[in-house]
Amino acid sequence: MESKINVNGISIAVKEEGTGPDMVLIHGIFATKEIMNPLFNHYKQNYHVISYDVRGHGESDKPESFNLDSHADDLKAIIEYFDLKKPVVVGLSMGSYITLTAAEKYPSMMSKIVLIGVRGEGKISLMEKAIEENDGNANIDLKEMGRLISRRVYPPNTTPEQIVEYYKGNRGKTELTNEERKNIYVSLAHYDMMSDIDKVDIPVLLLVGEFDGLNPPSESEKVANALNDSQLEIIDGAGHIIFFEKKEVVISLIDSFIDK
């Protein structure tokens, strides 16, 4: 069932299905809840699963200004809105930043968290990173910036046909404007989750693809080493969105982690 709910003064587009223990799935930058479908469609069989478009994305409201704290507060509000009982929260890329930030701010609200392709801090903005990818040329279209960054998403030798197949049924319908993209870039400028990471007192599973060129395994290792209770798994042959190439491996690891 898809709906829109009002939290923290904005409208959030939500998809909810299944019965059982509670689980929340959070997508990455410029994506929508649909990119989490490979996990959503599996876990809805045995869990009560919530997936949503984070603010600034998809069919949710797109305020001019927000940051990781805003996203973390939205996650808290969604957990409260649906009266979720210490859900397992799974975050992909930017979704992992949101999940980790929420675990630092509200450590008692979740039972366990899964961080896919995480990075503990960003010392330069995504816009600066894209300019670097463009040989220092700042005169670049924001969509082109996204394309430059996305070159690091997939493993070597991934074909265009494979990429098209990955996104079948896993892409939202909403197209972001340049201004909306700019606001998203700005929201992830110079963030830091490492300073308060000792506040996370729940088990954490970190999953990262061997060929993740956006947030490579070394970044997940830094986060894992700083956590009180962590398990790090590097997935052979996978890129940034590890469940595109290795869905069954990812599900098996998440299941084992939950069942501990």
Give the mean pLDDT per block of 10 residues along the chain (260 residues).
95 98 96 97 98 97 94 98 97 97 96 97 62 55 59 84 88 87 84 95 97 93 97 97 96 96
How many domains does one find in the chain?
Answer: 1
- Look up the domain containing 139 and give its range: 2-259
Which residues, in sequence order, are CB contacts of 84 under 8 Å at separation 6+? 22, 24, 48, 50, 78
Structure tokens at 170: 């896993």
- Angle (deg, nearest 10), helices 178-187 and 126-133: 110
CATH of the domain at 82: 3.40.50.1820
Task: Assess contact for 125 and 189: CB atoms under 8 A.
Answer: yes
Per the rule left: phi > 0, alpha: psi between -120 and 50, beta: everything else, 117 is: left
User: For the residues of 37-81, what is the DSSP string, one character each?
Assistant: HHHHHHHTTTSEEEEEPPTTSTTS---S---HHHHHHHHHHHHHH
